[in-house]
């Protein structure tokens, strides 16, 4: 079968079965093409809260599918590949954070959306990379405990200097692996290019950049810019997808290290198997987890 034949089959089956397909911006082009919506984590959570379809397939990682389930517990939610987890989301568990909360009872606990549903049950509010600064700014409490990503947390703390932001030592192993040496080499190779980075990168890399934003933020910035060349400091798929969208511009990945195996494990055939009813993994969350974790997501939508 050709890619086009698989795509047509998916489109036909999803219409017949009333299925909505959501794809994170890191997904491959052939998956984004058949999705009802693609975007960053925040945009996906808003799209998930609005869809009328009975079944939602999330082409992304587990916490994104869990977020869909929290917002639409009555829907059947499938993660397109059962092994697609986010290592950052698994770094901190409920026992650890309960203990930390006990030490800092006067702090508002802000969880990056890249956390498990279970951990969200004991946090006060969620943020995404595109909404974090605004939400932290809108929280009344001056004392913020930010988890798990210390790089995103450091970026937020810098943008909202009147808050007292306490960070924990977690983060994305993919983005955190990129360093200023990688920046220097990329700039030497492409001296005319602007550097656009995700705030999951370490502060020294963020400091060298011309723009900092979420995956969608980076894409919009590059598409709307008059500039012609860009070094992209997030998963390499963004540089590739941008190149398809803007053939007249040039996009270079900041480093070969920026490959997320969990995002890349999803294939078009996995999506086909899901719409056939023979693939993916259904997300099941108990009632108490849905009730308690959802408050965190609702608060995010309210404050952003």
Provide CB contacts within 8 A for 292, sequence distance 6+: 120, 121, 122
Taking the C-alpha atoms of residue 137 and residue 291, their distance in angstroms, rounded to an integer, is 26
CB-based burial of residue 158 (10 Å sphere; 0-12 exposed, 13-18 middle, 19+ buried)?
Answer: middle
What is the pairing mode between strands 76-79 and 281-282?
A: antiparallel
- Interacting residues toward ligand 13P by CB under 6 A: 40-41, 114, 128-130, 172, 198, 200, 214-215
Binding residue for ligand SF4 (CB under 6 A) from 87, 134, 243, 265? 87
Query: Which helix or strand (DSSP H or E) is residue 68 part of?
Result: helix 62-71
Choose the contact partner of 262 out of ligand 13P, ligand SF4, none; CB within 5 to 8 A by kind. Answer: ligand SF4
Nearer to ligand SF4, 86 or 274 (CB): 86
Within residues 147-166, the interface with ligand SF4 by CB under 6 A covers none
Nearer to ligand SF4, 200 or 270 (CB): 200
Shortest separation between residue 173's beta carbon and ligand SF4, angstroms: 6
Choose the contact partner of 205 out of ligand SF4, ligand 13P, none; CB within 5 to 8 A by kind. Answer: none
Q: What does the angle CA 49 – CA 167 – CA 170 come to, to the nearest 5 degrees?
A: 70
Residue 234: CA count within 13 A, CB half-sphere: 26
Choose the contact partner of 87 out of ligand 13P, ligand SF4, none; CB within 5 to 8 A by kind. Answer: ligand SF4
Binding residue for ligand SF4 (CB under 6 A) from 35, 172, 193, 232? 172
Shortest separation between residue 20's beta carbon and ligand SF4, angstroms: 21
Q: Are 194 and 201 in contact (CB under 8 A)?
A: no
Binding site for ligand SF4 (CB under 6 A): 61, 86-88, 114, 172, 174-175, 200, 235, 260, 262-263
């Amino acid at each position: 079968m050709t890619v086009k034949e698989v795509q047509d089959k998916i489109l036909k089956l999803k219409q017949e079965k009333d299925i909505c397909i959501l794809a994170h911006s890191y997904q491959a082009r052939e998956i984004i093409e058949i999705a009802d919506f693609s975007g960053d984590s925040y945009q996906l959570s808003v799209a998930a809260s609005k869809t009328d379809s009975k079944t939602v397939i999330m082409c992304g990682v587990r916490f994104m599918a869990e977020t869909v389930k929290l917002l639409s517990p009555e829907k059947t939610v499938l993660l397109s590949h059962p092994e697609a987890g986010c290592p950052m989301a698994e770094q901190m568990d409920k026992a650890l954070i309960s203990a930390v909360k006990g030490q800092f009872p006067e702090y508002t606990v802000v969880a990056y959306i890249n956390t498990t549903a279970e951990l969200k049950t004991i946090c006060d509010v969620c943020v995404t990379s595109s909404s974090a600064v605004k939400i932290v700014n809108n929280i009344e409490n001056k004392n913020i405990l930010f988890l798990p990503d210390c790089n995103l947390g450091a970026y937020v703390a810098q943008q909202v200097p009147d808050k007292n932001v306490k960070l924990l030592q977690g983060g994305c192993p993919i983005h955190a692996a990129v360093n200023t040496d990688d920046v220097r080499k990329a700039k030497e190779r492409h001296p005319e290019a602007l550097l656009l980075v995700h705030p999951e990168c370490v502060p020294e890399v963020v400091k060298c950049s011309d723009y900092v934003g979420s995956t969608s933020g980076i894409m919009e910035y590059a598409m709307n810019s008059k500039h012609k060349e860009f070094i992209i400091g997030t998963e390499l798929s963004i540089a590739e997808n941008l190149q398809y969208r803007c053939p007249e511009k040039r996009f270079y990945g900041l480093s070969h290290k920026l490959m997320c195996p969990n995002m890349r494990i999803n294939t078009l055939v996995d999506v086909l198997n899901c719409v056939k009813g023979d693939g993916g993994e259904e997300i099941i969350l108990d009632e108490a987890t849905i009730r308690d974790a959802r408050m965190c997501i609702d608060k995010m939508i309210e404050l952003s």
